[in-house]
Amino acid sequence: VAAAVRTFEPRDPDWDRKVRESFARQPFTQLVGFQISDLQPGRMELTLPMRAELTQQHGFAHGGVLATLADIASAYAGFSLMPPDSAPLTVEFKLNLLAPGKGDSLIARGEVLKPGKTLTVCETRIFAIDEGQETLIGTALVTMMCLMGMKD
Amino acid sequence: VAAAVRTFEPRDPDWDRKVRESFARQPFTQLVGFQISDLQPGRMELTLPMRAELTQQHGFAHGGVLATLADIASAYAGFSLMPPDSAPLTVEFKLNLLAPGKGDSLIARGEVLKPGKTLTVCETRIFAIDEGQETLIGTALVTMMCLMGMKD
Amino acid sequence: VAAAVRTFEPRDPDWDRKVRESFARQPFTQLVGFQISDLQPGRMELTLPMRAELTQQHGFAHGGVLATLADIASAYAGFSLMPPDSAPLTVEFKLNLLAPGKGDSLIARGEVLKPGKTLTVCETRIFAIDEGQETLIGTALVTMMCLMGMKD
Amino acid sequence: VAAAVRTFEPRDPDWDRKVRESFARQPFTQLVGFQISDLQPGRMELTLPMRAELTQQHGFAHGGVLATLADIASAYAGFSLMPPDSAPLTVEFKLNLLAPGKGDSLIARGEVLKPGKTLTVCETRIFAIDEGQETLIGTALVTMMCLMGMKD
């Protein structure tokens, strides 16, 4: 649904550093191999160069790879708006796979739809980049929880 | 929901071999490192020994790992009931994370809820095994599509 | 997934009365017309006699009717386990429609999968009863939140 | 996620009439009481004046009402792009409830994210209108199936 880009106010002045540090401490994220390509309050973009070991039996990006991108892009979009001394927890997510994940790289754009004190709902769109062309290959809704009084 | 164990009739006499061969051709599945620990018509159980590189920032199993298990256990439970000359495709799935994925290994049990000509709906329950104790850590609903006239 | 029937301990001795009273105060539930046919800690069964105004264009039960049943059966299964002075809130749900809703009545069975202090995850299976035969027509995962310090 | 408004090409020249006629033949839609306030290829907007019998126990719009709006706005957005001699079927949907449904009316905007031969994935955003102010109260992902060779 088309909309003007929305601006969010972070509640933690240290949001950028805390998000990047938490991201860097995720071993599975490193195993899959994606990187933060953009980070703003309430928004995270991830980029993943494709390689053979991320595919399923037909040579396309594996659904588990897309799910990981969907979860992480939304989780950290949400975490960027959480207050100091809190940790993010993914409650649940739903992913629709829209087209084969075929191309040189994948891009996942996570965005907060509704920030909240306890729960934050986010959305991630995933695109495959093939010869410079972006194709929407997945979309996800993600519910995050803010755990207070807990260092991430 | 408690229920008697349901029995399914495979439509492909070669279902066991075709499921195992397709599973073995998934590079990402091998990167994550899980194995088939049980396979029956309409049912697949996967076992994954935990290791550090499958975790998130708190040392628990990563949501993307659980999503991969949920997808694959359901996808192949569904594929086991599909006719010859067809390929399985995950349409969408939804995963609830119920407890921290903490333990020596994870077990995912996928099961067909409703087989169909075009669409098959499956469920995966995921358990963490910690010192011999099983804890339910995730549950997923998965919609699969049967692509006819296509070798998997 | 087959399992032994699980028993839950209510945290509010007054759980039965509070659930039935809250249910009775839902105008939309009365408009749709379903009744509680069974209530136990962590479980609710609803029964809905079918009638023409609950159908879609092909004469089957409307998806919105199934969604309402799925939400309510799970919501009150969850509420039955919540402490005194709390109110239930549906965070999100996902419903798979498995077969046409055709018959004399619908039955929805909601059950808690994972009770929690803040979040409770539930499942509802929906059946159509046609000439005494039960057919599974829908399944849902539902995430509930417990709002503390608030009378329902 | 902000994006330019996308344009869809209907495959049935009679799309507008067939969508409105099918909509008018849904008894449950009439019981709930919403109307089509905008219809374009791949898009449907519904408007529902609020009334007491559509509420839950706290006086807000019932989750089942939002689910019905989410399903129908997406279903007919999808149907508008389907070829002649086909009927739409909702496969599944997932709805996040983001804020209390409080106001004079509700608006649901359904939109096709990915049209397909067999499956079409859509999204509905739901808003409450309170004293002229729109608040996002729900968002849903909906998977539709096109049943060929069947008059709706």
Averaged pLDDT score across all residues of chain D: 95
D29 pLDDT more than 80: yes
What's the rounded Cα separation, in Å, for the pair A36 and A3? 24
Interface of C with B in 107-146 (CB under 8 A): 109, 111, 113-114, 121, 123, 125, 136, 139, 141, 143
- pLDDT score recorded for residue C6: 85
**C108 contacts C61 by C-beta, under 8 angstroms:** no
Of the pLDDT bands very low, low, confident and very high (cuts 50, 70, 90), residue B151 is confident
What's the rounded Cα separation, in Å, for the pair B118 and D102? 40
- pLDDT score recorded for residue C151: 78
Q: Rounded to 5 degrees, what angle do the CA atoms D9, D12, D15 make?
A: 90
**A94 contacts A22 by C-beta, under 8 angstroms:** no
Q: What percent of chain A has pLDDT over 90?
A: 93
What's the rounded Cα separation, in Å, for the pair D109 and D60? 20
- pLDDT score recorded for residue A76: 98
- pLDDT score recorded for residue B3: 52
B6 pLDDT more than 90: no
Contacts of B114 in chain D (CB under 8 A): none
Averaged pLDDT score across all residues of chain B: 95
- pLDDT score recorded for residue A6: 85
* Interface touch A119/C91, C-beta < 8 Å: yes
Among candidates C118, C143, C145 on the partner chain, residue whose Cβ is nearest the Cβ of A92: C143
What's the rounded Cα separation, in Å, for the pair A77 and A19? 9
B2 pLDDT more than 60: no
- pLDDT score recorded for residue A94: 98
pLDDT tens per residue, range D33-71:
999 999 999 999 999 999 999 999 999 999 999 999 999
C3 pLDDT more than 90: no
B1 pLDDT more than 50: no
A97 pLDDT more than 70: yes
Contacts of A143 in chain C (CB under 8 A): 91-92, 143
D94 pLDDT more than 90: yes
Contacts of D148 in chain B (CB under 8 A): none
Among candidates A1, A5, A6 on the partner chain, residue whose Cβ is nearest the Cβ of D109: A1
Of the pLDDT bands very low, low, confident and very high (cuts 50, 70, 90), residue D2 is very low
Of the pLDDT bands very low, low, confident and very high (cuts 50, 70, 90), residue A37 is very high
- Identify the helix (H) or strand (E) that includes residue B75: helix B63-79
SS3 of D27, please? helix
Q: Which residues contact B45 (CB under 8 A, 6 or more apart)?
A: B36, B37, B38, B39, B73, B107, B108, B109, B110
- Taking the whole predicted model, whether its pTM rises above 0.80 is answered as yes
Q: Which residue has the tokens 């449904």?
A: D101
pLDDT tens per residue, range A53-80:
999 999 999 999 999 999 999 999 999 9
Contacts of C109 in chain B (CB under 8 A): 1
List the one residue out of C55, C69, C83 whose CA is nearest residue C142. C69
Q: Which of B55, B90, B122 to mutate to test the interface with A (most CBs of A within 10 A)?
A: B90
Structure ipTM: 0.95
Q: What is the 3-state secondary structure (H, E, C) of C123-137?
A: EEEEEEEECCEEEEE
- pLDDT score recorded for residue C149: 86
* Interface touch A96/B92, C-beta < 8 Å: yes
C63 touches chain D (CB under 8 A): yes
pLDDT tens per residue, range B82-123:
999 999 999 999 999 999 999 999 999 999 999 999 999 999
Q: Average pLDDT in the C19-39 region?
A: 97
Q: Is the dihedral of CA C70, C74, C77, C80 positive or negative?
A: negative
Q: Tell me the nearest-neighbour CA distance from B54 into chain A, angstroms.
A: 5
The one-character DSSP state at C20 is: H
B13 pLDDT more than 70: yes
- Identify the helix (H) or strand (E) that includes residue A105: strand A105-114
- pLDDT score recorded for residue B68: 98
